[in-house]
Amino acid sequence: MKRILLAVAVAFGLSSCAVYDAYFMAKFDPNEYQYITRIRTHAELGNSVCDNAVEAQEQAKYLWMTAREFKNYAEDLPHNEKTIPLTESLNTLTEEFYKRYQSGDKVSSYYCKAKFTAINESSINIQKVIGAKPR
C-alpha cells in the first residue's frame, strides 16, 4: 500500500512539474524564429559584398535595424528570459558594425568579413536556442 501511494505521489509530482514547465516556459514563437533567420541569411550573404563599401554599409545598417527590432520584440514577451540576453548581445554586435561604417573611417574587407561571420555564427546559436523551445 505504501508503495502504491509513493508511486502515485511520484507520478503526480512529475506530472505537476511538466504542467508547471508547460505553463511558465516561453513557447516557440515563429516571429522570433523569423527574425533570427532573416538576420542569419543576410549575414551569410554579407560576405560577398565586403569589397563594395556602399553595399556593405547598407547590409550593416539592415542587420543592425533588424537586430534592434528583434531585441525590442523579444524583450517584452513573458517568460522569455533565456532569449533576451542573446538578442541584446546580437544587437550590440550589429550596432558596433554599423557604427564603424558611420564613423567615416575606411573599413577593410577583412574586418567586414570577420563581422559578418561573427554575426552569422551568433545567429546560428540563437536560432538553435529559439528552435529548441517547446512548440
Judged against a pLDDT cut of 50, whether residue 33 lies above it is answered with yes
Note the Cα 11 to chain centre separation in Å: 36
CA pair distance 90, 93, nearest whole angstrom: 5
Q: Average pLDDT, stretch 13-30?
A: 58
Domain of 107, CATH number, reads 1.20.120
Asked if the structure places residue 1 within a domain, the reply is: no
CA distance 18 to 28: 16
Residue 67 belongs to domain spanning:
27-131
Give the total number of structural domains in the chain: 1
| pLDDT tens column, 76-124 | 888 888 899 999 999 999 999 999 999 989 999 999 999 999 999 999 9
pTM > 0.95 = no
Query: Looking at the domain assignment, is residue 7 inside a domain?
Result: no
Q: Is residue 16 part of a domain?
A: no
